[in-house]
Amino acid sequence: MRENVTIIGAGLGGLVLAGALCRHGIKVVVYEAEVSADARAQGGLLDLHEHSGQRALHDLGLHEEFLTLVRPGEDAKRVVDCQGTVLLDCPGNPATTRPEVDRGELRRMLLNALPPGVVRWGHKVVSVCAAEGGRYMVAFANGLTAETMLLVGADGAWSRVRPLVTDVRPSYTGISFVELRLARDDPRAHAAAAVIGSGTLMAVTPGQGILAHRNADGSIHTYVAVTRPEAWATADLPTATARVAALFDGWAPTLRAFVANGDTTPVVRPIYALPPLIAWERVAGVTLIGDAAHLMSPFAGEGANLAMLDGAELAKALIGSLDDQEAALSAYENELFNRSHAVAHHSANNLARFFGPDAPMRVVELFVSR
């Protein structure tokens, strides 16, 4: 463990891993394709679960600081049909063990906890290959290279590191999101906020839906979900809003406004997933965390939580077995497969609940059961 640990990707999982290793004096470098921490928006709200995401923050000594970022009441859920009829209106729970936090603020907290220079921005990976002496060579688009004895892929759905351990690739789920935003000071934002309520709005029917909430800065963040072929999702971006709006003809005007009223360029996000039972044979000196290891749809709310727990558990394994890196990686991966398989199945089942033939009533049943 005298060699660097090299992490590809400065998402939540990679930052948790880096933070835990730094706390124990292990030299680590994180390479990130983005040019800076503020290069793009980091998504909206996410709920951090007590035994995964929050547990990782406890390990880092950051849980108390995290509590200052929590958005009280944002765990409220409102489910409506396509005419806007409210089917379920659950208020926020002050005693929730899954509080909501702005993803960007959470990432910033993790970045601030790292020593300067740990994250190397503007390093987009173009290739990864085995080198002499059990090392790995990473080449970047900026012309630089790095070698390491321990390589961790925390680089998301289309991981450049994953092919070192498996040839399995993500598959399209059939659902695509069109992500829209509306600034807090936009005159239309007040009406949108009233429709949303105090937490998250879910308007779903078989095959499509509108999911919306307010960000920490008061802006409106909307995901318009549609069941369409993969080729549709990768078609001409400037026409995305018009193409989607036509799919919601007949919906209540208050709901259609979420599709029509974005004030930024829409972002089309086809939803991909790895097989729920993905696993691989141990490959010396390399492993995966987060979406690189177990990409799944977002309908279990577990992706970010699992990524953070992966980072924390990998750090524990490495710190606890400084003289036997391979034993540490083997133990970590055995637990990784065990915890991710059930969650991936749960996520796939929830995707069917949201957009299957019994929507929206199965969504109502889901939240009533909680």
Instruction: Kindly report the number of other CB atoms within 10 A of residue 28's CB atom.
Output: 24
Tracing tokens 């055995």 back to the chain, one arrives at 334
| Domain at 5-71+95-169+274-354: CATH code | 3.50.50.60
Residue-by-residue DSSP string for 70-129: --TTTT-EEEE-TT--EEEEEPP-TT-SS-EEEHHHHHHHHHHTSPTTSEE-S--EEEEE
- Distance between CA 72 and CA 260 in Å, rounded? 29
CATH number for the 172-272 domain, one of 3.40.50.300, 3.40.720.10, 3.30.9.30, 1.20.140.10?
Answer: 3.30.9.30
- Distance between CA 207 and CA 74 in Å, rounded? 26
Lowest mean pLDDT among 63-67, 173-177, 210-214, 257-261: 257-261
Give mean pLDDT, residues 8-23. 97
Give mean pLDDT, residues 215-232. 88
Tracing tokens 């307010």 back to the chain, one arrives at 214
Every domain of the chain and the residues it spans: 5-71+95-169+274-354, 172-272
Q: The whole model's pTM is what?
A: 0.93
Instruction: Kindly report the number of other CB atoms within 10 A of residue 160's CB atom.
Output: 20
Q: Give me the pLDDT at residue 341, please.
A: 92
Q: Give me the pLDDT at residue 368, please.
A: 87
Name the helix (H) or strand (E) containing 306. Answer: helix 303-320
- pLDDT digits 0-9 by tens, 55-78: 999 999 999 999 999 988 888 999
